[in-house]
Structure 1
Amino acid sequence: MPAVFILLRSLVIRLLSSRLAGSVAQFLRRTISTGAAHIGTALRHVWERIRSQESKEAVLGCVLCILNMHKKVET
Protein backbone atom coordinates (compact mmCIF):
# COMPACT_ATOMS: atom_id res chain seq x y z
CA MET A 1 0.00 0.00 0.00
CA PRO A 2 2.74 2.58 0.75
CA ALA A 3 4.28 1.98 -2.68
CA VAL A 4 0.95 2.79 -4.36
CA PHE A 5 0.62 5.94 -2.26
CA ILE A 6 4.13 7.08 -3.17
CA LEU A 7 3.45 6.40 -6.86
CA LEU A 8 0.17 8.32 -6.81
CA ARG A 9 1.79 11.19 -4.91
CA SER A 10 4.60 11.47 -7.46
CA LEU A 11 2.09 11.38 -10.34
CA VAL A 12 0.00 14.13 -8.74
CA ILE A 13 3.11 16.26 -8.13
CA ARG A 14 4.22 15.84 -11.76
CA LEU A 15 0.75 16.69 -13.05
CA LEU A 16 0.51 19.83 -10.92
CA SER A 17 4.02 20.98 -11.76
CA SER A 18 3.47 20.47 -15.50
CA ARG A 19 0.23 22.45 -15.35
CA LEU A 20 1.93 25.20 -13.38
CA ALA A 21 4.84 25.29 -15.82
CA GLY A 22 2.39 25.43 -18.73
CA SER A 23 0.52 28.32 -17.13
CA VAL A 24 3.73 30.21 -16.45
CA ALA A 25 4.94 29.66 -20.02
CA GLN A 26 1.61 30.85 -21.43
CA PHE A 27 1.71 33.95 -19.22
CA LEU A 28 5.27 34.75 -20.32
CA ARG A 29 4.36 34.28 -23.98
CA ARG A 30 1.41 36.66 -23.64
CA THR A 31 3.46 39.24 -21.74
CA ILE A 32 6.32 39.17 -24.23
CA SER A 33 4.03 39.39 -27.26
CA THR A 34 2.13 42.31 -25.70
CA GLY A 35 5.39 44.10 -24.92
CA ALA A 36 6.68 43.49 -28.44
CA ALA A 37 3.46 44.89 -29.90
CA HIS A 38 3.80 48.07 -27.81
CA ILE A 39 7.44 48.49 -28.80
CA GLY A 40 6.56 47.92 -32.45
CA THR A 41 3.83 50.56 -32.31
CA ALA A 42 6.17 53.07 -30.64
CA LEU A 43 8.89 52.42 -33.23
CA ARG A 44 6.37 52.89 -36.06
CA HIS A 45 5.35 56.29 -34.65
CA VAL A 46 8.98 57.36 -34.29
CA TRP A 47 9.78 56.13 -37.80
CA GLU A 48 6.88 58.13 -39.31
CA ARG A 49 8.05 61.35 -37.63
CA ILE A 50 11.68 61.08 -38.77
CA ARG A 51 12.31 62.93 -42.02
CA SER A 52 15.99 62.48 -42.90
CA GLN A 53 17.45 59.23 -44.18
CA GLU A 54 20.49 59.60 -41.90
CA SER A 55 18.29 59.77 -38.82
CA LYS A 56 16.31 56.72 -39.94
CA GLU A 57 19.56 54.80 -40.45
CA ALA A 58 20.76 55.85 -36.97
CA VAL A 59 17.52 54.67 -35.34
CA LEU A 60 17.65 51.41 -37.27
CA GLY A 61 21.27 50.90 -36.18
CA CYS A 62 20.30 51.43 -32.53
CA VAL A 63 17.41 48.96 -32.78
CA LEU A 64 19.64 46.34 -34.39
CA CYS A 65 22.27 46.88 -31.71
CA ILE A 66 19.68 46.36 -28.96
CA LEU A 67 18.34 43.23 -30.65
CA ASN A 68 21.85 41.78 -30.94
CA MET A 69 22.73 42.44 -27.29
CA HIS A 70 21.37 39.07 -26.20
CA LYS A 71 23.82 37.14 -28.38
CA LYS A 72 26.85 35.74 -26.61
CA VAL A 73 30.22 37.09 -27.61
CA GLU A 74 32.40 34.38 -29.15
CA THR A 75 35.80 34.16 -27.49
Structure 2
Amino acid sequence: MPAVFILLRSLVIRLLSSRLAGSVAQYLRRILSTGATHLGTALRHIWDRVRSQESKEAILGCVLCILNMHKKVEN
Protein backbone atom coordinates (compact mmCIF):
# COMPACT_ATOMS: atom_id res chain seq x y z
CA MET A 1 0.00 0.00 0.00
CA PRO A 2 2.76 2.58 0.74
CA ALA A 3 4.26 1.91 -2.69
CA VAL A 4 0.94 2.81 -4.33
CA PHE A 5 0.77 6.01 -2.28
CA ILE A 6 4.30 6.98 -3.32
CA LEU A 7 3.51 6.25 -6.97
CA LEU A 8 0.32 8.33 -6.85
CA ARG A 9 2.12 11.16 -5.09
CA SER A 10 4.87 11.23 -7.73
CA LEU A 11 2.27 11.22 -10.52
CA VAL A 12 0.40 14.11 -8.92
CA ILE A 13 3.64 16.07 -8.50
CA ARG A 14 4.57 15.49 -12.16
CA LEU A 15 1.11 16.52 -13.31
CA LEU A 16 1.16 19.71 -11.25
CA SER A 17 4.68 20.63 -12.32
CA SER A 18 3.88 20.09 -16.00
CA ARG A 19 0.76 22.26 -15.69
CA LEU A 20 2.73 24.92 -13.86
CA ALA A 21 5.44 24.84 -16.52
CA GLY A 22 2.77 25.14 -19.22
CA SER A 23 1.19 28.11 -17.46
CA VAL A 24 4.54 29.84 -17.06
CA ALA A 25 5.34 29.24 -20.74
CA GLN A 26 1.99 30.72 -21.80
CA TYR A 27 2.53 33.73 -19.54
CA LEU A 28 6.01 34.37 -20.94
CA ARG A 29 4.76 33.95 -24.50
CA ARG A 30 1.98 36.47 -23.84
CA ILE A 31 4.39 38.99 -22.27
CA LEU A 32 6.89 38.66 -25.14
CA SER A 33 4.13 39.05 -27.70
CA THR A 34 2.85 42.19 -25.98
CA GLY A 35 6.38 43.57 -25.75
CA ALA A 36 7.00 42.92 -29.44
CA THR A 37 3.74 44.68 -30.30
CA HIS A 38 4.71 47.74 -28.25
CA LEU A 39 8.19 47.79 -29.75
CA GLY A 40 6.76 47.57 -33.27
CA THR A 41 4.38 50.43 -32.55
CA ALA A 42 7.19 52.57 -31.14
CA LEU A 43 9.43 51.86 -34.13
CA ARG A 44 6.60 52.69 -36.53
CA HIS A 45 6.00 55.99 -34.70
CA ILE A 46 9.69 56.89 -34.86
CA TRP A 47 9.84 55.88 -38.53
CA ASP A 48 6.91 58.18 -39.37
CA ARG A 49 8.48 61.15 -37.55
CA VAL A 50 11.92 60.80 -39.19
CA ARG A 51 12.05 62.80 -42.42
CA SER A 52 15.57 62.16 -43.66
CA GLN A 53 16.18 59.10 -45.81
CA GLU A 54 19.69 58.81 -44.34
CA SER A 55 18.26 58.67 -40.81
CA LYS A 56 15.76 56.02 -41.85
CA GLU A 57 18.56 53.94 -43.35
CA ALA A 58 20.59 54.33 -40.14
CA ILE A 59 17.64 53.19 -37.99
CA LEU A 60 17.02 50.24 -40.29
CA GLY A 61 20.71 49.31 -40.13
CA CYS A 62 20.62 49.36 -36.31
CA VAL A 63 17.51 47.17 -36.18
CA LEU A 64 19.02 44.69 -38.63
CA CYS A 65 22.25 44.62 -36.61
CA ILE A 66 20.34 43.88 -33.39
CA LEU A 67 18.32 41.13 -35.08
CA ASN A 68 21.50 39.63 -36.52
CA MET A 69 23.19 39.66 -33.09
CA HIS A 70 20.17 37.90 -31.58
CA LYS A 71 20.39 35.22 -34.26
CA LYS A 72 24.07 34.58 -33.50
CA VAL A 73 23.34 34.20 -29.77
CA GLU A 74 20.75 31.47 -30.45
CA ASN A 75 23.26 29.42 -32.44
Please give the TM-score of this superposition, normalised by the length of structure 2. Answer: 0.90
Q: Deviations over 1:25-55 (max 9, x none)?
A: 0110010001001100000000001112111
Asked if residue 39 in structure 1 is aligned to residue 39 in structure 2, the reply is yes
- RMSD of equivalent CA atoms: 1.2
Q: Percent identity?
A: 88
In 2: Cα distance, 1:60 partner to 1:72 partner = 18
Corresponding residue for 2:26?
Answer: 26
Q: Which runs of 4+ in 1 moved over 4 A?
A: none
In 1: Cα distance, 2:63 partner to 2:47 partner = 12
In 1: Cα distance, 2:6 partner to 2:65 partner = 52
SS of match in other structure, 1:69: helix
Larger helix fraction of residues: 2
Deviates more, 1:17-26 or 1:49-58: 49-58
Corresponding residue for 2:51?
Answer: 51
Unaligned runs of 5+ in 2: none
